[in-house]
Structure 1
Amino acid sequence: MWGGRTGALSRVWGLWPTGVLGRKPLSCNAASLEGNNSPHCWNCGGPGGPLRGDGFFCPQCSALQPPDPTRDHFSLMDCNRSFRVDTVKLQHRYQQLQRLVHPDFFSQRSQTERDFSEKHSTLVNDAYKTLLAPLSRGLYLVS
């Protein structure tokens, strides 16, 4: 399933999805769990409900779920909805999320998961770039 460099890097970083034997959770707050509005897993058909980790993975089969494109940048990046943002924390969160959903880590998975990974990664990049720069952060807040 997770072999080679991908498995080794994920084990080193300790960012496997929660609930799978030997995997550690990625820390998040309640706002981070509101990412996926799909009632059932696309892969196993398992029931919806709170998803593990940051709401990216099915609690039954650990398959990456489709991203919620309406998810707020602040909740995705685990920040308060405010103009003042801790950029060190933001950078750390960006790195955590990319280690979790970056397409490089899904090269051996199904085409569906590779597509979802690409979309998640794009949303994380957009959120990070938007919240990092004061001007774009302010514009995002007023929009």
Structure 2
Amino acid sequence: MWGGRTGALLRLSRLWPTGLLWRGLLNCNVVSLAGSNSPRCWNCGGLGGPLRGDQFFCPQCRALQPPDPARDYFSLMDCNHSFRVDTSKLQHRYQELQRLVHPDFFSQRSQTEKDFSEKHSTLVNDAYKTLLAPLSRGLYLVS
């Protein structure tokens, strides 16, 4: 009944780390290895796919990947690049992201993933605080 991509997604959903709710297949937020043009996972060396959405995890080994330093707060929090922001949607997105990357969920993982989790969590906190307050949101927009 569930063949193809949908079936694969459903089968993978049972493999996510404890404490993480499955929110769709989250691909690699990939890193380029020195001297390589191909994006690869830091943990398994697997090739990552194109970056889009909530791609914090490697699709092959499910290791948390490093945050993308070029990603802006609006795209991280899934908001339009505008002064007008739906604060209830922003709060929901903040909670959703913290359920994915909060350090409490990575206590039994490698030190690298713990470090990436702290960086992701800090980034999500900063983005939320900045976009929640109108003054800081406006300053962020013009910067």
Question: Which TM-score applies when normalising by structure 1?
Answer: 0.76
Aligned equivalent of 1:55:
55
CA shift, 1:104, in A, is: 0.3
Task: Identify which of 29, 51, 60 aligns with 1:36.
Answer: 29
Q: Runs ≥4 in structure 1, deviation > 6 angstroms?
A: none
Aligned equivalent of 1:122:
122
CA shift, 1:69, in A, is: 1.9
Aligned equivalent of 1:26:
23
CA shift, 1:103, in A, is: 0.2
Q: Which runs of 5+ in 2 are unaligned?
A: 1-8, 32-38
The answer as to 2:117 corresponding to 1:137 is: no
Q: Distance in 2 between matches of 1:75 and 1:109?
A: 27
Aligned equivalent of 2:36:
none
* Superposition RMSD in Å: 2.7
Question: Which TM-score applies when normalising by structure 2?
Answer: 0.76
Q: Which runs of 5+ in 1 are unaligned?
A: 1-16, 28-32
Q: Distance in 2 between matches of 1:127 and 1:20?
A: 30
* Matched pairs, number: 123
Contact 2:58 2:64 in 1 (8 A): yes
Higher-Rg member (1/2): 2
Q: Distance in 1 between matches of 2:110 and 2:51?
A: 20
State the identity as a percent: 79
